[in-house]
Amino acid sequence: MSLLPSMIEIVRDNWLLLLVGQYPNGPLGGIAATLILSILGIALAFPLSVVMALASLSPWLALRWPVMALVYITRGVPLLLIILWVYFVLPLLIGHSVPAFATMLVTLVGYEAAFLSEIVRAGIQALPTGQMDAARALGHSRLGAMRYVILPQALFNMIPSILSQFVSTIKETTLGYIINVPELTFAAGQINNRLLTKPFEVYFILAISYFIVCWTLTQAINMVERRIAAGRTAGPVAVSALPTTAASVSGA
Amino acid sequence: MKGFGLMAVLLNPEFSRMLVHGVKMTFIMFIGSWLLAMSLGMLLLAIRMLPSRIASGFVAIYVSYHRNVPTLVQLMLWYFGISSLLPDSVQIWLGDHNGEAVFAVIALGLCQAAYFSEDQRSGLRGVPRGQWEAARALGHSYFAAMTYILLPQAVRNAMPALVNHTVFLFKNSSLAMAIGVAELTHAVKEVENQSFRTFETYLIATLVYLICSLLLMWLGHHLEQRSRLAGAV
């Protein structure tokens, strides 16, 4: 058994396929497609999630209810089943067939928006209520206070959570394999089908590839998180220098 | 185009048999991998607590691997990869005895164990240090202090995260379809292929998953309420 040499050989023969798929001669695939899919997915889901978070915090039941229902459905149904739904419904809605990549992107945007909206909502609710009160007292409208006072702080505090959602998205793009989206897992499947006799080596290479990408990102996120936490502990020094009132004690 | 006919799917003996079998497999996989994940997660936590750098380093690598590699890839590595390294006789035996379900339970359980052990670890970190010192001062051994004093409190702290990951495990059991386990999502694809009633079959599966997930969330919330100390926030 010589696992390592044969794994090195597989990587040497197929590194281009693992990186970009069959790109110049076919659709973009491999790690490149995985990353593009996740970046687009999070980038498009983010604005949607802020709108959903604001709706779920709104005083109007008509806005709150549909969003909460949507969030519960996304939390309660497997992503795989949602992919199958979109795969089936999207062509019916548009009237012509949709490429697998677009199907996966639409699914990810909807799915991630629901999870991100919960993160954003928690971030808004974690801020002291005094922030809203102060902004309102200074003459901001509710929406103005949200836009200029609450959201900038909440979103800044939420950066680590949003980034770890990005790592989850990278892992979720693997499900595209089921509907034949040409991404990293799909590329490994192609290699495995060609070699036939080395499944362990191929799938171990696949696992290591994902590990390298996600682990590096996780370390980077931890660094960002420490920076933000350091900024936050440095902040309240000025506040704690102020005379403590009963209100601020109960607020903490 | 046929009209909407939920009953056409549900009343067909063949289709309903496949769906019921799918639900059964989903539950077997969920319960099997949950038990594996919970016991292994506790074991990992115990190893991590040992005063040995090597032991805690090993657990850290285990957790990091299982959290940074997609669950689907772990499933494929077990089913296509690791199974091929086994001796022929074992492979044949597994082929005759639903090997794919066995590997799915192992892969899902090992993966989720990493999450469960991390949840419990952060729960344990939330228990004040004085609890440990007091338990030891009262004459409890390391093991007794862990089992009777610290872990019950840690589980209480970790409850919301554990419930959340339990729901995730239930949903992730659908991934076993990719390696050919005849669970609910797999059954739905089969029924859809034969009946051409895509909308109805997907709707049935969605409702089953949704109701079970919501029940799990409700149960978890109920447990959280019950395990909460009187007066604690």
End-to-end CA distance of chain A: 61
Please provide the distance, in angstroms rounded to a whole number, between the alpha carbons at the two ends of chain B. Answer: 57
Helices B198-227/A61-76 angle, 10° precision:
100
Per the CB < 8 A criterion, the answer to whether A90 and A20 are in contact is no
Question: Nearest-CA residue of chain A relative to B62?
Answer: A211
Positions of chain B with pLDDT lower than 50, given as ranges: 1, 233
Please, are residues B15 and B194 in contact by the beta-carbon 8 Å criterion? Answer: yes
A61 pLDDT more than 80? yes
Nearest to B24 by CA among B173, B146, B128: B173
Give A137: exposed, middle or buried? Use CB within 10 Å, 0-12, 13-18, 19+.
exposed
Q: What are residue B62's DSSP bridge partners?
A: none
pLDDT per residue over A68-90, tens digit each? Answer: 999 999 999 999 999 999 999 99
Alpha carbons B53 and B48: distance in angstroms, whole number: 9
Query: What is the model's pLDDT at position A241?
Result: 42
pLDDT digits (tens, 9 = 90+) for A153-200: 999 989 989 999 999 999 999 999 999 999 999 999 999 999 888 899
In this predicted structure, the answer to whether residue A121 has a pLDDT above a threshold of 90 is yes
| DSSP 8-state assignment for residue B173 | G
How much is the mean pLDDT over chain A? 88
CA distance B160 to B119: 9
d(CA B95, CA B106): 16
Candidate from A72, A77, A88 with C-beta closest to B198: A88
Residue A166 to chain B, least CA–CA distance (Å): 12
The predicted pLDDT at position A1 comes to: 58
Rounded to whole angstroms, what are the CA distances from B78 to A229, B28, B103? 39, 19, 6
> Are B167 and A175 within 8 A, CB to CB?
no
Q: B96-101 long-range CB contacts below 8 Å, 24 or more apart? A: B98/B181, B100/B176, B100/B179, B100/B180, B100/B181, B101/B25, B101/B28, B101/B29, B101/B176, B101/B181
Residues of chain A positioned with their CB less than 8 A from the CB of B173: 78
CA A217/CA A211 separation, integer angstroms: 10
Query: Tens digits of per-residue pLDDT, A193-246?
Result: 998 888 999 999 999 999 999 999 999 999 998 988 887 765 544 444 444 443
Is it the case that residue A247 has pLDDT exceeding 50?
no
Shortest distance, CA A219 to any CA of chain B (angstroms) = 11
Q: pLDDT tens across A1-40, in order?
A: 578 888 888 888 888 888 888 888 888 889 999 999 999 9
Give residue A249's pLDDT band: very low, low, confident or very high (50, 70, 90): very low
Q: Quick check: A79 and A115 in contact, CB under 8 A?
A: no
**Residue B209, pLDDT score:** 95
Q: Residues of B near A (CB-CB distance < 8 A)?
A: 64-65, 67-74, 76-77, 80-82, 84-85, 167, 171-175, 177-178, 185, 188-189, 198-199, 202, 205-206, 209-210, 213-214, 217
Q: Do A88 and B74 touch (CB under 8 A)?
A: no
Query: What's residue A233's pLDDT?
Result: 64
Q: Taking residues A132-153, what's their average pLDDT?
A: 92
What is the rounded CA–CA span in Å between residue A10 and residue A35?
22
The predicted model scores a pTM of: 0.87
- Residue in chain B closest to A179 (alpha carbons) equals B178
User: Which residues does chain B have within 8 Å of residue A211's beta carbon, measured at their own beta carbons?
Assistant: 65, 68-69
Across the interface, whether the CB atoms of B68 and A214 are under 8 A apart is answered yes
Residue A189: per-residue pLDDT: 92
**Interatomic CA distance for residues A104 and A37, integer angstroms:** 8
Exposure string over A212-244, b if 16+ CB within 10 A, otherwise e: ebbbebbeebeeeeeeeeeeeeeeeeeeeeeee
Rounded to an integer, what distance in angstroms lies between the CA atom of residue A78 and that of residue B168?
A: 8
List of residues 6+ apart from A195 with CB closer than 8 A: A10, A202
Q: What is the pLDDT of residue A246?
A: 38
What pLDDT is stored for residue A237 in this prediction? 45
